[in-house]
A and B are shown apart, each in its own frame.
Chain A
Amino acid sequence: MKRLPTSCPSCDGRLAVKRLRCEKCATEVDGLYPLPALTSLGQEDQEFILEFIKASGSLKEMAGILNVSYPTVRNRLDEIIEKLKQNQANLKEKK
């Protein structure tokens, strides 16, 4: 599966969606839509968040699913939260 590029290969700037296309009738919409915050995360981080939501946000259950300890899961979540905060802060600076 192709990965959604989120940063510019030329200047590393954040990419935005310029055109959307309906899969049913092929209608195309032009505009400038910012990407959701979660897309700024890497593939593994996004998968972690997905699993976390599916586990009802239970760190304990996540630890069981991933076969690691509770603090390992919590530390990973803290890392992701830190990345999201950093990305949002960068976006605000650019604005």
Chain B
Amino acid sequence: MNLNTENKPITLLFNPFFYVAGGKALGLGLMALLLAGLLGALGNTHFDGVLDTHTGAHVPLWIFLVEGVIDWLCMAAVLLALGMVACKTSFRALDVLGTQALARWPTVLVGLVMLPGAVRRFAAQLVELVSNPGARPAINFADAAVCCLAVIATILFVCWMVYLMYKSFSVSCNVKGGKAIGTFIAGLIAAEVLSKLCLALLLAPALTGTAFAAPPAYAHQAVESSPAQTDTAPAGLADAGVQFVNLLVKEDFAGAVARFDSTMTKVFPESLLRKCWQDLVQKAGPFKQQLKVRVKEQQGYHAVLVTCQFEHTTLDLKVVFDSSSQITGLWYVPSDSE
């Protein structure tokens, strides 16, 4: 008797669950999730949804790891529920959890192809073109070529991941044919929505505790470490940062939100900004004064760091501006001068 398929390498690529499932698949899958999170943190690649891959802000490593875990759990939970309805016989939850984790291993490859700086540089140039149609940024064609290749590779890897997820569902829950395809597509859509909700509900409040910011994937390229003060900052940007902080101090949140770009306006409404500021004041104590202001530049974005003294501590409010001087990111970090 032989259950093995004729072409083992092909089966391993497109249906590894024929050979691996349960605890072994779970172990391998968790390792893949960990690796994808680490690579994501290195390249600022966020897997912010079951099917989503975006370059975004640099945030703490745990955010990248949690994103992967949330994506995996959402997909597995939805397919477990659908499997109970669609499957005539019993199946093990461990198989669904393990094979769904392993099915996400192509995200490691996505993390790798998104590592080159060329991808982020070209993405920043595109953002500048879209947000400021009159501008003519110098396009680096080598960056553009690398970026195009990375995007094509990412699409292929995501398609491969979706196929693996389908095979995982089919093998683990013993569902086949049209019923399996229909159920899986419904599950994929539901899991995508669920993962987006979970990320918004779980990560946004966590971020407001440590950083005063929009969800990571939406806050484009917040500046992290560029000690040299830039000479290329548009005139008046430092003043714009100071004025923005003044608006927060006066609790004129409507005025503050009016300075956000369209993405920030969508994900960081006035009510959330008010809550974040009030939380900050509760923790750091009442605002005392602004001590100094600096401007840093990275990949086409300018961050104005306004050092603010509160009753209990001193913090740098980091206001990130895009090329059209709209606010595209907002953080607070312990002050360098403290």
Do chains A and B stick together as partners? yes
Using CB atoms and an 8 Å cutoff, list the residues of chain A in contact with chain B: 44, 47-48, 51, 66-76, 78
Contact call A71/B1, Cβ cutoff below 8 A: no
By a CB distance below 8 angstroms, the chain A residues around B174 are: 71, 74-75, 78
- A selection of 30 A-B contacts at a CB cut-off of 8 Å is A44-B2, A47-B1, A66-B1, A66-B4, A67-B4, A68-B3, A68-B4, A68-B19, A69-B17, A69-B18, A69-B19, A69-B20, A69-B95, A69-B171, A70-B21, A70-B22, A70-B95, A71-B17, A71-B91, A71-B92, A71-B95, A71-B171, A71-B172, A72-B21, A72-B171, A73-B3, A74-B89, A75-B171, A78-B89, A78-B174
Main secondary structure on B side of the interface with A: loop
What is the interface size of chain B, counting residues whose CB is below 8 A from a CB of the partner? 19
By a CB distance below 8 angstroms, the chain A residues around B1 are: 44, 47-48, 51, 66
- The smallest C-beta distance from A74 to any residue of chain B, in angstroms, reads 7
For the complex of A and B, the 10 pairs showing the least CB-CB separation, nearest first, are: A69-B21, A47-B1, A75-B174, A66-B3, A71-B95, A68-B3, A71-B21, A78-B89, A71-B171, A72-B18
By a CB distance below 8 angstroms, the chain A residues around B21 are: 69-72
By a CB distance below 8 angstroms, the chain B residues around A66 are: 1, 3-4
CA distance A69 to B92 in the complex (A): 12
4 further A-B pairs in the complex, CB-CB below 8 A; given A69-B171, A71-B171, A78-B174: A69-B21, A70-B22, A70-B95, A71-B95
- Could you give, for residues 99-129 of chain B, a 1 whenever the CB lies within 8 Å of some chain A CB and a 0 otherwise? 1000000000000000000000000000000
